[in-house]
Amino acid sequence: MNLIKIILADDHKLVRQGMRSLLEAQPGYEIVGEASNGLEALKLMEELSPDITLLDVMMPDLNGIEAAKIAQQRGYKSKLIILSMHANSTYVVRALQSGAMGYVLKDSDFSEILQAIQNALEGKRYLSSSIASEVLEILLNADLDKPDLLAVLSNREREVLQHIAEGNSNAAIAEKLTLSVRTVESHRAHIMAKMRFTSQADLVRFAIQQGLISP
């Protein structure tokens, strides 16, 4: 029997350990890698080609929703499922728009995670039962012409935006993303100009509103 290969991405080691124990106790599942942020998750997806990747929403350096978007753009075959403690319909909609096949709340019963995995493997979406009706209502009443406020930024600018909002200096961001400090400064300037931010506070508020960082 071919095992279902899974990557776990969560910045809390205890959460990953608990999820690993629960999944490996089920027949047919194999945890092939663990990541503590979205950048590590993308690297593992490229190297290991897992069937399923479980992504936490709020991770440092690159959050789960942004990681899902990049994975979809790169054509990775892994089915993506978002795990989150945030029952925020805006996050759910953004996750689905970014290519996630499921959104499961961390306080859900473990059977919901198993169902989300099975659905994803079959090409079907899955939402935690407690948020499904609210999200459907939002989608049915969505303004299809409403612009994606993040769409004007490149993937790299979105990464830099999250790092800035997390309070990282230009030098720290340059080291994390393997860029020069001057390049980071250029990205910062472009972000401020494109988004018409006038201060760091504007940038942080926007990042929170878009679910890039926790309040």
**Arithmetic mean of pLDDT over the chain:** 90
Residue range 107-125, pLDDT digits in tens: 999 999 999 999 999 999 9
134/32: higher pLDDT: 32
Domain(s) labelled CATH 3.40.50.2300 in the chain stretch across 4-140
DSSP 30: E
Q: Which of 52, 46, 47, 22 is nearest to 121 (CA)?
A: 52
pLDDT at 139 (0 to 100): 61
d(CA 14, CA 77): 27
pLDDT at 94 (0 to 100): 86
Indicate the CATH number of 4-140 among 3.40.50.720, 3.40.50.2300, 3.30.470.20, 3.30.1180.20: 3.40.50.2300
- 3-class SS of residue 189: helix
Residue range 135-180, pLDDT digits in tens: 776 666 655 445 567 888 898 999 999 999 999 999 999 998 999 9
- Look at the domain 155-209 and name its fold: Arc Repressor Mutant, subunit A (1.10.10)
How much is the average pLDDT of 188-211? 89
H or E stretch covering 72? helix 64-74
Whether the model clears a pTM of 0.85, i.e. scores above it, the answer is no
